[in-house]
Structure 1
Amino acid sequence: MSITSQKRNNIELYTNKFYATCTLGGIIACGPTHSSVTPLDLVKCRLQVDPTLYKSNLQGWKTIVSTEGGFSKVFTGVGATFIGYSLQGAGKYGGYEFFKHYYSTLSFVTPEFVQNHSVWIYLGASATAEFLADIMLCPLEAIKVKQQTTMPPFCNNVFQGFSKIYTQEGLKAFYKGIVPLWFRQIPYTMVKFTSFEKIVEAIYAKLPVKKSELSPLQQISVSFTGGYLAGILCAIVSHPADVMVSKINNGRKATESMSQATNRIYKQIGFKGLWNGLPVRIVMIGTLTSFQWLIYDSFKAYVGLPTSG
């Protein structure tokens, strides 16, 4: 991991323009990709709340189309998903690039440590970035989960959802899932970025030529492969917390604390219930993560920045 400033098409690394470009890349990578898998997310969230609801994704989609008003209903929650994960992508990717460089250049961090123990830099940078990104994501995630897991849907769009939740429960309702969201997203992102960096590093180490000798298309192909493998690990690590996010946003009582709600829900579903919907999530997250890295690194290559890894 180099911490030396370079210039690529007038964008100097580790400047405000560089971080703004990476932030924009994160928006482009996360908003559209998360939105595109809304049908998978819809079935997954409903199965997390009620595992007997559908026998398969296909059966779930057929049921939704036939009973809830047509094909468009499989995209229930797409508006909140797009806005929420665009904001999260901005904070996650832009923040990761910022904190990765920041932690690498702290006065007590030696170049030897950066070279030999880079995994700690990746873990710290990704955790910090995700912690902050989730503060932007949480209100939209609350609307999305509420909309997806109530039938008929709690609201028809983001603005109606915000108005109804605020009127019925107040502002605090938008952050009642922040702790389980952190427990889901921070480990997820730590695995996502750190495993990606190490997988891509291993791939480049096995190739007969240096990364700099590969074409941008070849480098982006490496990013796509590393992203998919990292996505599988992400899905497994973060799935139990994902189930709890869905359960808590759907069924936490107004009089319950976070720990009370978590304990009550865990007693209902047990350890096995924490893994409801995992196969769907592996497909969804593996696809999401690979395409996010594909889009993010394609954008970086387009504007003249080096690809990740």
Structure 2
Amino acid sequence: MGSKTTTDAEKGSVVANHPFVVPQFTARDYTSFFTAGALCATITHGAMTPIDVVKTRIQVDPALARHSLLSGGRSIVANEGAAALLTGFGPTAVGYLVQGGAKFAGYEYWKKQLVQIAGDQDTAVKYRTAIYLGSASIAEFFADILLTPLEATRIRLVSERGYATGLVSGFARMSREEGFRGLYAGFLPILCKQIPYAIGQFTVNELCHELVNRSMTEEKRKSLSSASNLGITLSCGVVAGFAAAILSHPADTLLSQINKGHGPTGSMPHRLKVLAQQAGFRGLFAGLGPRMIMTAGLVAGQFIFYQGIKDAMGAPPGLEIHKETSKV
């Protein structure tokens, strides 16, 4: 779809006023994207396990419902010991290892496919936000097929003290007692949670980077120091993390309730509707403050690690379709 003759083309970009070129990623490139995504996700989610434990307990334990992140953590440690803050570390690390790899590699893959479907440069740039939304949503859907049973195990370990000793025993118990239905009981709510999360993570990050790029000349962008680039990545990631937390939090609350066995019997949409009505607006956003802090750190950290690991592996940059309007 055009000859690879320009600097922007070599960088894998689709930019206004330049030839429309789509990079031809190889299987090795996608393997690098998967590996970088898997490592960045498992590192950041694993590190955030204590915060996630407190957040989940605030959502499902009435005794902690009105606690802040700090006071909730203190209460858990006082009553159950410091080790309780690491409950669910195994499912978290393994779950987000496979989910992160599939999500980041999938986002790169589907973004390229949708750019090709757009057919020409102007259309791709014009509809870049729709491309971000679509590629993030599709990638997250397939990633969640891998994540759901491990997330169900994690939430059960966190919400029911003494349920199992760890990932293997917890997963085995759920499989034995509840089967496929139990492991995937949260698939619909996890989609409702993770797809808005991915949209906030990737789309807002892309748009933030575009705003930064449009605020400076090409020469200035090229002359930025490593520290400046790191600061931009961090700042954009924090904003994207806040957006991801807000968009996905109601479904995150419902997911915690579903996996603890709360709510009526019946179809999943019915259970979600009843639980949402019972919780109300305030209940659906219980624990949002701690989750915003956690998610800002997660998303910013993931983008920093993702880029660093890709660079270390010699992977190519992802496809960019930012609209460049800065003065040269």
Query: Equivalent residue for 1:176?
Result: 185
Query: Equivalent residue for 1:136?
Result: 146
The answer to whether the 8 Å contact 2:265/2:271 transfers is: no
The answer to whether the 8 Å contact 1:220/1:298 transfers is: no
> How far did residue 117 of structure 1 move?
2.0
TM-score normalized by structure 1?
A: 0.90
Match of 1:237 among 238, 242, 247: 247
Q: How far, CA to CA, are the matches of 1:206 and 1:91 in structure 2? A: 33
Structure 1, unaligned runs of 5 or more: none
The answer to whether the 8 Å contact 1:7/1:13 transfers is: no
The answer to whether the 8 Å contact 2:48/2:294 transfers is: yes
TM-score normalized by structure 2?
A: 0.85
Residue by residue over 1:29-82, the C-alpha shift from the partner in whole angstroms, topping out at 9 and shown as x without a partner, is: 1001011111111111111113432623233223322322x3222110110000
Query: Equivalent residue for 1:99?
Result: 110
The answer to whether the 8 Å contact 1:220/1:307 transfers is: no
Q: What is the DSSP-based 3-state SS (H/G/I as helix, E as strand, rest coil) of the residue aligned with 1:251? A: coil
- Aligned residues between the structures: 302
Alpha-carbon RMSD across the aligned residues, in angstroms, is: 2.3
Q: Does 1:20 align with 2:45?
A: no
Q: What is the DSSP-based 3-state SS (H/G/I as helix, E as strand, rest coil) of the residue aligned with 2:260? A: helix
Q: Does 1:30 align with 2:30?
A: no
Query: Equivalent residue for 2:134?
Result: 124
Q: How far, CA to CA, are the matches of 2:11 and 2:111 in structure 1? A: 18
Task: Using the aligned pairs only, state the percent identity.
Answer: 34
- Provide closer, same or farther for how the CA distance between residues 135 and 301 of structure 1 changes in structure 2, counting only shifts above 3 A: same
- Provide closer, same or farther for how the CA distance between residues 307 and 224 of structure 1 changes in structure 2, counting only shifts above 3 A: farther
Q: How far, CA to CA, are the matches of 2:126 and 2:53 in structure 1? A: 42
> How far did residue 121 of structure 1 move?
1.2
Match of 1:271 among 265, 270, 281: 281
> How far did residue 270 of structure 1 move?
1.6
> How far did residue 216 of structure 1 move?
4.7
Q: Does 1:56 align with 2:75?
A: no
Residue by residue over 1:249-295, the C-alpha shift from the partner in whole angstroms, topping out at 9 and shown as x without a partner, is: 11246943212322332232122210100111110101110111111
- My pick for the range that moved more, 230-239 or 152-161, is 152-161
Query: Equivalent residue for 1:295?
Result: 305
Q: How far, CA to CA, are the matches of 1:15 and 1:80 in structure 2? A: 31
Q: Does 1:153 align with 2:165?
A: no
The answer to whether the 8 Å contact 1:3/1:104 transfers is: no
Q: How far, CA to CA, are the matches of 1:41 and 1:199 in structure 2? A: 26
Query: Equivalent residue for 2:91?
Result: 80
The answer to whether the 8 Å contact 1:6/1:13 transfers is: no
> How far did residue 169 of structure 1 move?
1.1
The answer to whether the 8 Å contact 2:29/2:316 transfers is: no
Q: Does 1:162 align with 2:171?
A: yes
Q: Does 1:71 align with 2:82?
A: yes
| Larger RCO, structures 1/2 (Cα 8 Å, 6+ apart) | 2
Q: How far, CA to CA, are the matches of 1:74 and 1:241 in structure 2? A: 23
- My pick for the range that moved more, 259-268 or 166-175, is 259-268
Supply the AA of the counterpart residue of 1:85: Y
Residue by residue over 1:141-167, the C-alpha shift from the partner in whole angstroms, topping out at 9 and shown as x without a partner, is: 0001111111x2321101111111112
The answer to whether the 8 Å contact 1:48/1:277 transfers is: yes
The answer to whether the 8 Å contact 1:216/1:301 transfers is: no
- My pick for the range that moved more, 239-248 or 152-161, is 152-161
Structure 2, unaligned runs of 5 or more: 13-22, 321-328
Q: How far, CA to CA, are the matches of 1:36 and 1:95 in structure 2? A: 24
Match of 1:204 among 200, 207, 213: 213
Q: How far, CA to CA, are the matches of 2:224 and 2:316 in structure 1? A: 12
- Provide closer, same or farther for how the CA distance between residues 272 and 51 of structure 1 changes in structure 2, counting only shifts above 3 A: same
The answer to whether the 8 Å contact 1:224/1:290 transfers is: yes
Query: Equivalent residue for 1:191?
Result: 200
- My pick for the range that moved more, 59-68 or 225-234, is 59-68
Q: How far, CA to CA, are the matches of 1:300 and 1:258 in structure 2? A: 39
> How far did residue 188 of structure 1 move?
1.2
